[in-house]
C-alpha cells in the first residue's frame, strides 16, 4: 500500500508491500507520486518489480566522483569537465540521492544560474554532465529504475554568436604591444588570425608537424587528424622562429598566451577582443578570399555547417564591393 506525505514543496511517496522492500521516492506533485506508486505496485503484482534501492542510496556527489574517474578522465575536454564536476559537488543537490532528484530541482538550478549571469552555453554544458551521468548510471552501473531528470527539461537557448572582428589598425597595435611582453606572442597572434588554428592546436605544435606548405595536427579538439594549409605569410612566420631543443615550435603555454593576450589588448586600447576571436577572424577571411564552405570546413575542422556559420562574419564592405 502506498502512503503520501507533503514535504515542503515536494511530495514523498512510500510503498510497503509484503515480500518486497519498502520503497520511497520524492516528486514535484502528488499526482506524479501517485502515478509512480501505481506503476510500482502494478509491477509488484505482475512480478515485474525493479528494485530501485541502489539508486536511492547513491547520492549525486558520490555518482559524480565515480563518473569523473571512469568517464571524464577519458574525454578530450577532461580538464574543463573536472571544473564543472567540482562546482556540482559544492551544490546542495550533490547530497541528494539520484532517485530523488526531480526535473524541478534542475529547473531551479538552471534558472538560478542564468539569473546570476552565467552564459546559457555554460549552463547547458553543466547540465549535460548530469544528463550523461544518469545515462551511464542506468546502462553501465545497473542502477535500476532511474529516470533521467534532464530528459524533458527545457534547456537554455544558445547565446548569439560573437561577431567581433579586429580591424587592421587594432591588430597592428596588438602586435606592437605583444612584442613587449614576449617575442613569440606577436607571431602566435598573427598565426591564429591567419590559420584558424585553435589556441591549443597552435601552441602544442612540434617542428616536425610543420611541413613545407602545411601543418599536420595530430591532436585536435574533436580527436581527428587535420592538415592545415599555410599561406606564404604563415610560412614566413614559422621560419622566423628559432629552432628549440625540445622540438616544440613555441615555449609559451596556452593559459599564459590567454593571459598575455588580455594584457596586450588592454595596453593597445583594444576592447572586447578575445584570443578565440582570432579563429573567427581567420575563418571569415577564408570565405572573403573565395573558399567554398567545404574547403573552409576542412581547414578549420568544423564538424557541422551550422557551427561553421557561427564562426563566420563576412565584412559587409567586401560584400558591397562584390555587388558593384
Q: Is the dihedral of CA 104, 89, 24, 37 positive or negative?
A: positive
pLDDT at 23 (0 to 100): 75
pLDDT at 156 (0 to 100): 85
DSSP H or E stretch at residue 228: strand 226-229
| DSSP secondary structure letter of residue 13 | E
∠ Cα 110 80 130 (to 5°) = 40
From the candidates 198, 199, 226, 280, which is the catalytic residue? 198
pLDDT at 125 (0 to 100): 92
Which cell is 21 given?
Answer: 522492500
From the candidates 67, 280, 311, 313, which is the catalytic residue? 311
Cα separation, 231 vs 210, in Å, equals 12
pLDDT at 263 (0 to 100): 96
Is 221 labeled as catalytic in the residue annotation?
Answer: yes
Which cell is 231 given?
Answer: 599561406
Which cell is 120 given?
Answer: 546559457
Is 109 labeled as catalytic in the residue annotation?
Answer: no
Is 311 labeled as catalytic in the residue annotation?
Answer: yes
Q: How many beta carbons lie within 10 A of that of residue 203, not counting itself?
A: 21
Closest CA to 254 of 205, 208, 193, 289: 205
From the candidates 17, 132, 221, 263, which is the catalytic residue? 221
Classified as helix, coil or strand, 214 is strand
Closest CA to 184 of 118, 126, 242, 125: 242
Reading the chain (324 residues) residue by residue, the pLDDT tens digits are: 787 888 888 888 888 777 666 777 788 888 988 887 887 777 666 665 555 566 667 899 999 999 999 999 988 778 889 999 999 999 999 999 888 888 999 999 999 999 998 888 899 999 999 999 999 988 888 776 678 889 888 988 766 666 788 999 999 999 999 999 999 999 999 999 999 999 989 998 999 999 989 999 887 776 678 889 999 999 999 999 999 999 999 999 988 999 999 999 999 999 999 999 999 899 888 888 888 888 888 888 877 777 677 666 655 555 556 655
From the candidates 165, 226, 279, 280, which is the catalytic residue? 279
Is 302 labeled as catalytic in the residue annotation?
Answer: yes
Q: Are 206 and 152 in contact (CB under 8 A)?
A: no
- Ramachandran quadrant class, 313 (left: phi over 0; alpha: psi -120 to 50; beta: rest): beta
Amino acid at each position: 500500500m502506498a502512503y503520501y506525505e507533503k514535504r515542503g514543496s515536494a511530495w514523498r511517496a512510500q510503498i510497503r508491500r509484503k515480500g518486497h522492500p519498502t520503497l520511497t521516492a520524492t516528486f514535484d506533485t502528488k499526482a506524479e507520486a501517485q502515478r509512480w506508486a501505481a506503476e510500482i505496485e502494478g509491477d509488484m503484482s505482475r512480478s515485474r518489480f525493479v528494485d530501485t534501492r541502489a539508486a536511492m542510496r547513491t547520492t549525486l556527489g558520490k555518482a559524480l566522483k565515480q563518473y569523473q574517474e571512469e568517464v571524464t578522465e577519458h574525454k578530450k575536454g577532461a580538464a574543463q569537465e573536472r571544473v564543472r564536476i567540482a562546482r556540482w559537488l559544492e551544490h546542495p543537490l550533490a547530497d541528494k540521492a539520484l532517485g530523488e532528484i526531480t526535473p524541478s530541482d534542475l529547473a531551479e538550478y538552471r534558472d538560478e544560474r542564468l539569473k546570476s549571469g552565467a552564459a546559457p552555453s555554460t549552463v547547458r554544458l553543466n547540465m549535460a554532465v548530469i544528463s550523461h551521468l544518469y545515462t551511464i548510471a542506468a546502462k553501465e552501473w545497473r542502477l535500476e529504475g532511474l529516470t533521467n531528470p534532464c530528459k524533458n527539461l527545457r534547456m537554455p537557448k544558445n547565446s548569439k554568436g560573437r561577431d567581433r572582428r579586429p580591424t587592421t589598425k587594432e591588430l597592428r597595435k596588438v602586435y606592437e604591444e605583444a612584442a613587449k611582453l614576449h617575442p613569440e606572442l606577436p607571431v602566435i597572434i598573427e598565426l591564429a588570425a591567419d590559420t584558424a588554428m585553435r589556441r591549443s592546436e597552435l601552441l602544442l605544435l612540434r617542428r616536425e608537424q610543420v611541413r613545407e606548405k602545411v601543418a599536420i595536427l595530430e591532436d585536435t579538439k574533436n580527436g581527428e587528424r587535420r592538415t592545415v594549409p599555410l599561406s606564404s605569410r604563415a610560412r614566413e612566420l614559422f621560419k622566423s622562429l628559432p629552432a628549440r631543443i625540445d622540438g616544440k615550435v613555441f615555449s609559451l603555454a596556452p593559459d599564459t598566451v590567454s593571459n598575455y593576450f588580455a594584457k596586450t589588448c588592454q595596453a593597445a586600447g583594444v576592447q572586447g577582443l578575445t584570443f578565440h576571436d582570432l579563429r573567427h577572424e581567420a575563418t571569415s577571411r577564408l570565405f572573403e578570399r573565395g573558399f567554398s564552405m567545404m574547403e573552409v570546413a576542412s581547414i578549420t575542422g568544423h564538424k557541422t555547417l551550422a557551427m561553421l556559420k557561427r564562426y563566420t562574419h563576412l565584412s559587409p564592405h567586401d560584400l558591397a564591393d562584390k555587388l558593384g
